[in-house]
Amino acid sequence: MLDPTLLRQQPAELAARLRETRGYALDPAALESLESERKQIQVRTQELQNLRNTRSKAIGQAKAKGEDVAPLMAEVAAFGDELKASEARLETIKAEIEAIALGIPNLPHASVPAGKDETDNVETHRWGTPRTFDFEVKDHVELGARNGWLDGDTAAKLSGARFTVLRGGLARLHRALAQFMIDLHTEQHGYQETSVPLLVNADSMRGTGQLPKFEDDLFATVVGEGEAASKRYLIPTSEVPLTNIVRDEIVEDAAMPLRMTAHSMCFRAEAGSHGRDTRGMIRQHQFEKVELVSIVRPDESYDEHERMTRCAEVVLETLGLPYKRMLLCTGDMGFAATKTYDLEVWLPSQNTYREISSCSNCEAFQARRMQARWRNPATGKPELAHTLNGSGVAVGRAMIAVMENYQNADGSISVPEALRRYMGGVEVLS
């Protein structure tokens, strides 16, 4: 959520910035009208509340003196209905303003290039040289199907489209990748391993920006029955529970920066991706990811952003997977981000790079929604923290990249050296 003072004091300027950078249409006239009404009703509500308090005190004093309190009681009754109506309208207006605020995306950092979509993203770094093959390259679906290791048909019978069953060596490779990443981030990069719930409440989804805007992309279930029933959401990424750990909390300065990592299942409805990447494991309803989350002091968040992105890059370099770093333009960034780097890994079968990690600085956007704060030792007062999140990295896509980049002419797959200790010393899957 953006700073409320921008909405109250500079609605026209904010609308212009959102239109130019995000293609987002904000109606400043409607916002100004609501804000004007809010001020008027708030003043009148406070007047009526003060009047009620004053008259209530006068009634008490009159009763103590044995005086007739009927006139005072009649006066209180006369403005009581107006006070109730005024309080109700004030809450309605505040809710309308909050609904508008919750739907506004974050403003891009000054260093983010202007653009409409992914074609305007800027490459900032490239590592590794794509391998040259002397045989016909197979994609991950063909490689996995040879031994029944990757089975989409059985998954479709069990659950429907965009699910996969993994077996044998491929299932072990998938598990090995996750273990390798968690060990790397905890042992070398200073992140604390954290196990988080896969079901979260609406407050958690709202805190990181998935609600209300992206509800159609989420899987949800109802827990309990009747009046006790409540909605729970399957997490689209462990960013949600990790970041919400500090919701409504004040983190002491000595604990900053707070760095957490989690390996978890992730669930996405992929509501807006019909017809895209339906073959294999590129785009699934259920997948696994190793997530990185940092809670930091505001003046350190851009250094932390570079550091986090580098941690994800080390995963790919250690696996020997060629990649490039892309700085996303204003039109391609996520809702909560102010600056984002995507890492794209080389996939030989597609002869192109595909996203495998996205690392974002959200500044105080999520923290304001969550009331996540840190105590500034200079003032002793709580201030909004900055939050960052990144994939470190997507396990399924890393497995696809390993399969395709390490494939052999006979359909076998060489195991990268970094993974062999997690594979019981196996060097080749065949």
283 labelled catalytic = yes
Q: What is the DSSP string of 163-224?
A: --EE-HHHHHHHHHHHHHHHHHHHHTS-PEE----SEE-HHHHHHHT-TTTTGGG--EEEES
38 labelled catalytic = no
Please classify residue 397 by burial: count the beta carbons closer than 10 Å to its beta carbon, then call 0-12 exposed, 13-18 middle and 19+ buried.
Answer: buried
Q: How far is CA 27 from CA 6, 116, 236, in A?
A: 14, 21, 30
How far is 260 from 304, CA to CA, in rounded Å? 13
Residue 383, annotated ligand binder? no
358 labelled catalytic = yes
Residue 67, annotated ligand binder? no
Partners of residue 414 on adjacent β-strands: 428
Residue 230, annotated ligand binder? no
Residue 357, annotated ligand binder? yes
Residue 269, annotated ligand binder? yes
Residues contacting residue 213 through CB under 8 Å, at least 6 positions apart: 102, 103, 335
Residue 237, annotated ligand binder? yes
Residue environment code for 1-18, b if the CB has 16+ CB neighbours within 10 A, otherwise e: bbbeeebeeebeebbebb
Residue 194, annotated ligand binder? no
Of 283, 297, 310, 354, which residue is the catalytic one? Answer: 283
Of 22, 204, 397, 404, which residue is the catalytic one? Answer: 397
How far is 360 from 358, CA to CA, in rounded Å? 7
Residue 186, annotated ligand binder? no
Of 358, 363, 369, 373, which residue is the catalytic one? Answer: 358
Residue reference for tokens 């807006």 = 272
Of 126, 355, 412, 414, which residue is the catalytic one? Answer: 355
Residue 53, annotated ligand binder? no
Of 268, 307, 368, 373, which residue is the catalytic one? Answer: 268
355 labelled catalytic = yes
Residue 16, annotated ligand binder? no
How far is 333 from 331, CA to CA, in rounded Å? 6
Length of the chain: 430
360 labelled catalytic = no
Residue 389, annotated ligand binder? yes
How far is 285 from 218, CA to CA, in rounded Å? 10
User: For residue 337, what are its two tokens?
Assistant: 């981000």
In this structure, are residues 237 and 194 in contact, taking their beta carbons and an 8 Å threshold? no
Q: In terms of Cα–Cα distance, which of 100, 26, 19 is closest to 330? A: 19
| Residue positions forming the annotated binding site | 237-239, 268-270, 291, 355-358, 389, 391
Q: Looking at the annotation, which residues are catalytic?
A: 268, 283, 355, 358, 397
| Residue positions forming the annotated binding site for L-serine | 237-239, 268, 291, 389, 391
| Residue positions forming the annotated binding site for ATP | 268-270, 355-358
